[in-house]
Amino acid sequence: MELLLRSPLDMHLHLREGALLSLVAPFSARAFAGAVVMPNLVPPVDNLARLRAYRAAIADAVAPYAFTPYMTLFFRPYDEATLAAARAAIIGVKLYPEGVTTNSAEGVRDLEAVEATLTLLERLGIPLLVHGESHGFVLDREAEFLPVYARWAERFPRLTIVMEHITTAAALEVLDAYPNLAATVTLHHLLITLDDVAGGLLNPHLFCKPIAKRPADRDALRAAALRAHPRLMFGSDSAPHPVERKEAAGCAAGVFSAPVLLPLLAGLFASHGALANLQAFVSDNARRIYGITPPDRTITLIHKPWTVPERCGDVVPFYAGQRLEWQVVDPLASAAIAGPGAAIQRGSAPHNPDAQP
Amino acid sequence: MELLLRSPLDMHLHLREGALLSLVAPFSARAFAGAVVMPNLVPPVDNLARLRAYRAAIADAVAPYAFTPYMTLFFRPYDEATLAAARAAIIGVKLYPEGVTTNSAEGVRDLEAVEATLTLLERLGIPLLVHGESHGFVLDREAEFLPVYARWAERFPRLTIVMEHITTAAALEVLDAYPNLAATVTLHHLLITLDDVAGGLLNPHLFCKPIAKRPADRDALRAAALRAHPRLMFGSDSAPHPVERKEAAGCAAGVFSAPVLLPLLAGLFASHGALANLQAFVSDNARRIYGITPPDRTITLIHKPWTVPERCGDVVPFYAGQRLEWQVVDPLASAAIAGPGAAIQRGSAPHNPDAQP
């Protein structure tokens, strides 16, 4: 049994830099025609010179796959000339409130003060991508930010605002209320809840920001994805950290899902009889919302079990050691499992069996 | 400045066995006149022979301190003869629902089926100690168990039922509704919330069951402790695990607070002008509720800063590396900080500064 996807897109991805970029980028490039690349590096990607250098490094890391990195600029109070100059090189500007997630120390402190820049973005037709969390109690942060989305959506009706990695049923309601809002949702937030992170033993490899929420939230997100909600896009938020930063006294937030995204999505959609909607969720919605034309690639998945490696280099992937039903056929290799250049270490099964779709 | 406490008691303690028992028990024995010792070992303490051997091992580990281990039996459907024979050797019977926490695999599956045993406990005047969590979503487990407490309190009005390690404002309401209910609360649930566990970096050393809840829950528990609610007892639930079981892919639940209990309690009560209530909270309430007379010891705390070690043997203590204002004067040594026989490793400060009272 085969499943063909036309130019799948990962609309929220962390590719890192240096050796980690070289390690993780091929996993995305093998299965996707492009991805929105997040700018929260240290220092952030906040100027065109840095952006071009980063895009070149990504191009090296993903070669020879036909893979477009859709670049983003880290939100600053840019002037109009700067934004106009950047426009052709970016898919949008990514806004982080200060300190809400990995490498967001240089984020926005005063959400009222950004509106001059939003006016420019709206005028220039540059989408605004937002990490929408407050500084409140960890489970309430997304809900507390929702009024900001509503306010901006009303004040800037021609600005495309993307609610990144939504995790709650409440976020879907706000999405539905404003036509200029769009959203991404990750694979892991379609599969896990806080119970998978902290309900049994604590699992640092499932710890991410925004943190996984309640079963009712997961179910609402899943229902929206399975019906290919027209303003909901797939964005993995795959965020690799070396194992020594995860199994540690201070564990960094992020789930490294790049090696398993399409296999798990195919399994989820198939188990709900919704495979016909997967194309829209992983590609068509994003093309329409952003008006982009990714490289024309057909990605083939075959229904053939494989076991996710325990490690990809020094990074533990999502579903490490677990058996998946679908796999991506690597267009460059007969081996369907590993990305090129990735050091793979096989092993036996761990945690989190409940999250298997 | 000195603070004198008469025979403080830790009404919920995990002392483990073997080398770990030898490592951790002196921290409790130095500062407390006695403690309620939990029976969830592998295999559980569910017969008098095992209980006596465990008590003897504890006596060895705490010598030469005057320290009474108040022993508990792991809940089973014991017959009346067994309970009558055990009565003089135990402070109560500890009930765990199956699988809700560390070493509870042999716990109770059917909460309706235990009532015959509760009838015997009530008749014999043996308190019932309960780990009150359902198998639901991790944040709802205590709240979902509260109707069980209410039902048992009504059906067995002469049975003393101790709600162990309560973590929610809702639990306090149920406690107040039934005169035969009592409760313990830990130090860490008076200090931390889920934000300290997972709001920034994930901190496995603050991961425990029941998991820390919302700020409003912490504040309600703190208010009840600070006013020495007459049916609320201090019980640390100090639960050591070796560092390799905490900073791991599957992190065991438990906070090792034994080395810092009275210093942090003194700091908390002092900062709220409630030092006059500390004696009742850490000793008098428990004596009255259980009708026990612990060894008559006066524990002296002095207001003199010290730094909590990074490690006690291979266990990371609560507030590791942080500076505390109060310290316990060890009656057996001039060194006020370390328990005897404990391997101490000093270092610099970590995580969680917000939780400092």
CATH number at residue A246: 3.20.20.140
- What pLDDT score was predicted for residue B334? 52
- What pLDDT score was predicted for residue A334? 52
Interchain pair B138, A198: CB under 8 A? yes
When divided into structural domains, chain A yields a total of 1
C-alpha–C-alpha distance, residues B304 and B263, integer Å = 10
Q: What is the mean pLDDT of residues B240-264?
A: 97
What is the ipTM metric for this complex? Answer: 0.90
Q: Which of B10, B196, B217, B237 is catalytic?
A: B237
A337: pLDDT strictly greater than 80 = no
CB B197 within 8 A of CB B212: yes
Q: How many CB pairs under 8 A join A and B?
A: 83
- What pLDDT score was predicted for residue B342? 40
Mutate to test the interface with B, among A98, A134, A138, A202 (most CBs of B within 10 A): A202
A197 in B contact zone (CB under 8 Å)? yes
Interchain pair A198, B215: CB under 8 A? no
Asked if residue A51 is part of any domain, the answer here is yes
A207: pLDDT strictly greater than 90 = yes
Question: Could you please report the per-residue DSSP string of A68-117?
Answer: EEEEEEEP----HHHHHHHGGG-SEEEE-BTTSSTT-TTSBS-TTTTHHH
CB A127 within 8 A of CB A159: yes
CB A238 within 8 A of CB A258: yes
pTM of the entire structure?
A: 0.91
B100: pLDDT strictly greater than 90 = no
Query: Which residue segment(s) compose the domain that A93 sits in?
Result: 2-297
Pairing of strands B2-6, B298-307: antiparallel
Question: Using 50, 70 and 90 to split pLDDT, how confident is the model at B79?
Answer: very high
Query: Side chain identity at A29, as an amino acid letter?
Result: A
Interchain pair B350, A250: CB under 8 A? yes
Cα separation values, A302 from A2, A5, A262, A279, A297, Å: 5, 11, 11, 16, 16
B349: pLDDT strictly greater than 50 = no
Q: Which residues contact residue B178 at a Cβ distance below 8 angstroms, ignoring those fewer than 6 apart?
A: B149, B150, B153, B154
Q: What is the mean pLDDT of residues B106-114?
A: 90
Asked if residue B333 is part of any domain, the answer here is no
Angle at A197 between CA A231 and CA B205, to 5 degrees: 140
Least confident of A334-348, B64-78, B222-236: A334-348
Asked if residue B334 is part of any domain, the answer here is no
Average pLDDT, chain A: 93
Question: Using 50, 70 and 90 to split pLDDT, how confident is the model at A301?
Answer: very high
Chain A nearest-CA residue for B210:
A199
Active site residue A237: yes
Question: Using 50, 70 and 90 to split pLDDT, how confident is the model at B220?
Answer: very high
| Number of C-beta neighbours around residue A179 at 10 A | 10
Q: Which of A134-138, A343-347, B341-345 has the highest average model confidence (pLDDT)?
A: A134-138
B198 in A contact zone (CB under 8 Å)? yes
Least confident of A102-106, A113-117, B340-344, B347-351: B347-351
Nearest CA-CA distance, residue B98 and chain A, Å: 13
- What pLDDT score was predicted for residue A356? 36
- What pLDDT score was predicted for residue A347? 36
Chain B nearest-CA residue for A104:
B200
Nearest to residue B331, comparing CAs of B31, B77, B51, B111? B31
Asked if residue A332 is part of any domain, the answer here is no
What residues in A contact B248, CB-CB < 8 Å? Answer: 247
A331: pLDDT strictly greater than 70 = yes
Pairing of strands B92-95, B68-74: parallel
What residues in B contact A316, CB-CB < 8 Å? Answer: 249
| Number of C-beta neighbours around residue A20 at 10 A | 18
Asked if residue B357 is part of any domain, the answer here is no
C-alpha–C-alpha distance, residues A298 and A300, integer Å = 6
C-alpha–C-alpha distance, residues B69 and B91, integer Å = 9
CA atoms within 13 A on the CB side of B261: 34
- What pLDDT score was predicted for residue A335? 44
Asked if residue B300 is part of any domain, the answer here is no
B351: pLDDT strictly greater than 50 = no
Cα separation values, B87 from A92, B15, B92, B120, B289, Å: 71, 21, 8, 11, 17
B338: pLDDT strictly greater than 70 = no
What residues in A contact B194, CB-CB < 8 Å? Answer: 137-139
B247 in A contact zone (CB under 8 Å)? yes
A201 in B contact zone (CB under 8 Å)? yes
Interchain pair B214, A137: CB under 8 A? yes
Q: Which of A10, A196, A237, A284 is catalytic?
A: A237
What residues in A contact B251, CB-CB < 8 Å? Answer: 201-204
- What pLDDT score was predicted for residue A333? 72
Say which of A193, A195, A251 has its CB closest to residue B202. Answer: A251
Asked if residue B4 is part of any domain, the answer here is no
- What pLDDT score was predicted for residue A313? 97
Say which of A199, A205, A211 has its CB closest to residue B198. Answer: A211
pLDDT tens digit string along A106-135? 899 999 899 999 999 999 999 999 999 999
B357: pLDDT strictly greater than 50 = no
C-alpha–C-alpha distance, residues A149 and B159, integer Å = 54
pLDDT tens digit string along A157-188? 999 999 999 999 999 999 999 999 999 999 99
Question: Using 50, 70 and 90 to split pLDDT, how confident is the model at A100?
Answer: confident
Question: Using 50, 70 and 90 to split pLDDT, how confident is the model at A99?
Answer: confident
B242 in A contact zone (CB under 8 Å)? no
Q: What is the mean pLDDT of residues B22-42?
A: 97
Determine whether B35 is exposed, middle or buried from the number of CB atoms within 10 Å of its CB (0-12, 13-18, 19+). Answer: buried
Asked if residue A352 is part of any domain, the answer here is no
pLDDT tens digit string along A213-249? 999 999 999 999 999 999 999 999 999 999 999 999 9
Determine whether B256 is exposed, middle or buried from the number of CB atoms within 10 Å of its CB (0-12, 13-18, 19+). Answer: buried
pLDDT tens digit string along B134-160? 999 999 999 999 999 999 999 999 999
B344: pLDDT strictly greater than 50 = no
pLDDT tens digit string along B315-330? 999 999 999 999 999 9
A199 in B contact zone (CB under 8 Å)? yes
